[in-house]
Amino acid sequence: MNAASSAAGSSTGFTDSPSQPHQAPADVLAALWRDAAMPPEALSRIAMTGADPVLPSSFAVGTAAQASLGASALAAAALWAQRTGRWQTVSVDMRHALAEFRSERYLRVNGGPAPELWEKIAGVYPTGDGRWVRLHTNFPHHRDGVLRILNCAHDKDAVRAALAKWKAEDFETAASDAGMVVAAMRTFDEWQRHPQAQALHGLPPVIIEKIGDAPPQPLPALAPHAEINVDARPLSGVRVLDFTRIIAGPVAGRTLAAHGADVLLVTAAHLPSMPSLVIDTGRGKRSCQLDLRDPDDKRTVHKLIHGADVVVQGYRPNGLSDLGVGPEAAARARPGIVYVSLSAYGHVGPWSGKRGFDSLVQSATGINADETEAAGSAEPRPLPAQVLDHASGYLLAFGAMVALHRRAVEGGSWHVRVSLAQVGQWLRSLGRVPDGMGTPDQHIDEVSDLLEVEESGFGELTVVRHAAKLSETPAHWTLPSVPLGTHAAEWLPR
């Protein structure tokens, strides 16, 4: 198939010395924008305030937050201009962007804490060869699988004693072979020598490629005067089918909903979930449950795809393809579809099928080791937020809106790819912050001006407002978070 493609953010040269200055957020956003072939005049419409460091990190986490979130907001403004002929201004403050990158930490339910995020044996442990491994056990089957391999009790001390008999990479391999999610902590030099790092070298954080032919499909024109429809937004009338869980993919859907899309989350009753993340990332979405192993439910999914503009999926590589709803099948069924895929370690290389989460990718790729060294810590030090997850979420939304913008002019079906590891590579390319670790952390009372209270299907929530401010179409969520499976598996009328 003749596939036109673009790569957003293709400048991946490493600027890894802590003594070298990190890139300016405006330059980082401009690189993403230019590489996505978006209208250059848009760059004069965004203002970004603040500077790193805002949180304790040796990486330019504020720049990553501001640029990725700003790129998604500017893409929404470009779609608005395409639909109405009017540009609007966008502004993003770095402190607010980083608060939204920690939205799950600041979530409060009925005035009290949200459900606990971490299962009790999740975390980092020393191994017998003097190294470290990180376990992700938040799903019961991942927890039980790790305990089977270790042949120990469900207890931190028992896990620590069992891992003292393993070498870090041997345990990582054994766990991965069993379908578990574990990462050995590597230095950046060790990661660079790894075949997966070599496979990803030079790849951008966002890959946007045309995967099928279709005529141009402009989004419906919107009324020229906002007062005719006070809630008209850049993605009004756009239908998004959201097959995602945890943080990165759900943040993408939440972002598209903030700009007016009809986002329908699809889960299944047999799949585990994390209640705090369901609450935090469910804002603006409807939620249904379908089991793709059931023939009737599978037919319903195919019907939904026929009516969708965008599909966002974050399941294991080829998981949905094996069930007949991968990108190529979706493009055949619905020419003009924008199919958005998230993976942990990328779509190429020996780890392309490997499962993973933000905290594990930080460990495997040298980010934790560098933070540990910068902090002078004896134990592994993670980033001060799930930066890879949240940046991936906004870049997924950015890629989806870029593809919709290009579909309106060029036509075609589109595939957007983002991986946590490629976003980690991009984060590293932004440079290091020499004095970053000396910055005090921000607690919830210090970001109270960025929070709002709203009712939901879980009670009263305290949540972080969206950090991007659009002058004509303020981003917001018209639907509250609801328990999984609350809604029917159908589209709203356009």
The pLDDT of residue 10 is 44
The pLDDT of residue 320 is 84
Say how many C-beta atoms besides its own lie within 10 A of residue 143's C-beta: 20
Whether 371 has a pLDDT exceeding 70, the answer reads yes
Whether 242 has a pLDDT exceeding 80, the answer reads yes
The pLDDT of residue 15 is 45
Q: Please state whether the peptide bond connecting residue 350 to the residue before it is cis, i.e. omega within 30 degrees of 0.
A: no
Please compute the mean of the pLDDT values over residues 280-294 and round it to a whole number.
Answer: 97
Please compute the mean of the pLDDT values over residues 264-274 and round it to a whole number.
Answer: 96
The pLDDT of residue 7 is 62
Which residues, 6+ apart, have CB-to-CB distance to 236 below 8 Å?
222, 229, 260, 261
Whether 14 has a pLDDT exceeding 70, the answer reads no
Q: Rounded to whole angstroms, how far apart are CA atoms 106 and 114?
A: 9
When pLDDT is cut at 50, 70 and 90, the band that residue 64 belongs to is very high
pLDDT in tens, 458-485: 999 999 999 999 999 999 999 999 999 9
pLDDT in tens, 449-465: 999 999 999 999 999 99
Whether 12 has a pLDDT exceeding 90, the answer reads no
pLDDT in tens, 82-111: 999 999 999 999 999 999 999 999 999 999
In whole numbers, what is the pLDDT of the chain averaged over residues? 94
Q: 434-438 — which CB contacts under 8 Å span 24+ positions?
A: 434/18, 434/19, 434/58, 435/53, 436/52, 436/53, 436/56, 436/57, 436/58, 436/59, 436/374, 437/56, 437/57, 437/58, 437/371, 437/374, 437/375, 438/53, 438/56
The pLDDT of residue 148 is 98
Whether 27 has a pLDDT exceeding 50, the answer reads yes
When pLDDT is cut at 50, 70 and 90, the band that residue 4 belongs to is very low
When pLDDT is cut at 50, 70 and 90, the band that residue 20 belongs to is low
pLDDT in tens, 168-188: 999 999 999 999 999 999 999
Whether 17 has a pLDDT exceeding 70, the answer reads no
Which among 20, 95, 89 is positioned nearest to 55, based on CA atoms?
95
Strands 459-464 and 451-456, by their bridges, are antiparallel
Whether 256 has a pLDDT exceeding 80, the answer reads yes
Range from 8-22, 66-80, 229-243 carrying the lowest mean pLDDT: 8-22
The pLDDT of residue 361 is 98
